Amino acid sequence: MKKTNVLFASSLALMAAQGAFAEDTFKFAMIDPFSGPAAVVSERIEKVLRFAVDDVNGKGGLNGQQIEILTFDNKMSPQETAIQAEKAIDAGARILQTSVSSSNTFALVDFVRKYNRRNPDSKVIVFDGASHDPAITGEKCSYYSFSWVLNAEMKTAGLASYLSGRDDITKVYLLNAEGSSGQTTRQSILDMVGMARPDIEWVGDDTHPLQKITDFTPYIAKIKASGAQAVITSDWGADLALELKAAGESGLEAEWFTYFSTGPGAPTAMAQSGLDGLVYSAFDGDAGIVNDDLAAYEVQFRAATNTSASAFPGDTSAIRALTMAAKAAGTNEVDDLVAALEGVEFETVYGAPAFMRPEDHQIVTQMAVSKFAPVAEGGLDEEGTGWGWTNVALIPADTIALPSTCEMDRP
């Protein structure tokens, strides 16, 4: 009788354990600034990520396991990023993502490289959701790290291709932030655009503190005095919005070629300042690309969140690729997922084919150049401004797929 009771109790315990395991979630941690000036960017990224995850969960999740999003505030600090990464892992996260500022991404990649070496039985993966510093898939590349957006050099290669046909632009001003991302992009512009257009005269080259300037009027005055026909900037968030606001208020008629003007705040600044057709986006894509699936996705996302989704394609691409990789692997174990993510082919939110390059874990896909102006009634506008994106060029993937410089250590 006692033996029967023991067996019965053991069976109940086993069933309880199996039930608990079945209810367990696949935890995905966002480690980004959820306080301070950059919080508005993190909050938009979170909306895009949750929307993509909700779609996957509604279809059964990853191999039957629901994805759970956890958020951690790194306060825009590399040191805090490492602290929050430890907390995320303690909470059970298996994918750690950071998107805002490449210095934070570097810190996370370095932390995870050391963590995985010390903890081979509980490894985690890094997703770079929006940083665009080429070092992330170059000198900092890691077997357990994946970048889901085009890097600065790829975008600059696309911009150089576009500008090669704009011989009306001969005087250009550079405006970029301090830090690795801003200065790496600045150098790639000088190199690639300079090679494509050796006739261009660089009439100014300014560097400013990152996310600390509240009035860019003095910088705009210098640009205006230089006679620049165009400005190229990799600035983002509040910096870019304030620059464009000052440009409009000063009557600056130069064209702006930007990398992040699809992000929060910039569309409102452009529309309010009357910069009609003067601001161009050199980016993975935007809502102005003519594609039925993109339009349907944007309409659905905007109805749910009252904002646009295509400004942050990395999250949608990451979740789409992760879902395909998990299905191919037949498991959610980290090493199996990493192996399946290498070379995975999928479609971006813009309707473009993409794949994850195995050599450096860099997404390879097309990019777009679009300009911002008033849209026709019923068109996709941004931030309720009545203004939106009109695509002027799609740059093929093979034009911007620069050779890999990664020397990856593989397990």
Which runs of E-coded beta strand occur in 21-103?
Answer: 26-32, 67-73, 93-98
Whether residue 19 is predicted with pLDDT greater than 70 in this model: the reply is no
Q: Which of 59-63, 178-182, 336-340 has the lowest mean pLDDT?
A: 178-182
Q: What is residue 408's DSSP assignment?
A: -
The mean predicted confidence, pLDDT, of the chain is 92
Average pLDDT on 78-94 reads 97
Q: Residue 11: count other Cβ atoms within 10 Å of its Cβ.
A: 10
Phi, psi of 119 (to 5 degrees): -130, 70
Q: Is 384 exposed, middle or buried (0-12, 13-18, 19+ CB in 10 A)?
A: exposed
Q: In this predicted structure, what is the pLDDT of residue 93?
A: 98
Q: In this predicted structure, what is the pLDDT of residue 258?
A: 96
CA dihedral (56, 57, 61, 67) positive or negative: positive
Q: What is residue 62's DSSP assignment?
A: B
Q: pLDDT tens digits for 198-234?
A: 999 999 999 999 889 999 999 999 999 999 999 999 9
Token look-up 């570097």 returns 106
Whole-angstrom distance, CA of residue 40 vs CA of residue 312: 13
286 neighbors 391 (Cβ within 8 angstroms)? yes
Q: In this predicted structure, what is the pLDDT of residue 236?
A: 85
At 354, list the tokens.
Answer: 């993409």
Q: Comparing C-alpha atoms, which of 296, 308, 301, 283 is closest to residue 391?
A: 283
Whole-angstrom distance, CA of residue 77 vs CA of residue 186: 23
Q: Are strands 67-73 and 26-32 parallel, antiparallel or unpaired?
A: parallel
Q: In this predicted structure, what is the pLDDT of residue 181?
A: 82
100 neighbors 33 (Cβ within 8 angstroms)? yes
At 409, list the tokens.
Answer: 């250590």
Phi-psi region of 370 (alpha: psi -120 to 50; beta: other; left: phi over 0): beta
Q: pLDDT tens digits for 172-195?
A: 999 999 988 889 899 999 999 999
Identify the structural domains of the chain with CATH numbers, from first to last.
25-150+294-364 (3.40.50.2300), 153-283+367-400 (3.40.50.2300)
Give, in degrees to the nearest 5, the angle at Cα 9 between 7 and 10: 65
Q: Comparing C-alpha atoms, which of 85, 72, 74, 67 is closest to residue 28?
A: 67
Average pLDDT on 92-108 reads 94
Indicate the pLDDT class of residue 128, thresholds 50, 70 and 90. very high
Q: Residue 364: count other Cβ atoms within 10 Å of its Cβ.
A: 18
User: Which amino acid, one-letter code, is at 391?
Assistant: N
Whole-angstrom distance, CA of residue 78 vs CA of residue 82: 7
CA dihedral (237, 240, 246, 249) positive or negative: negative
Average pLDDT on 348-359 reads 97
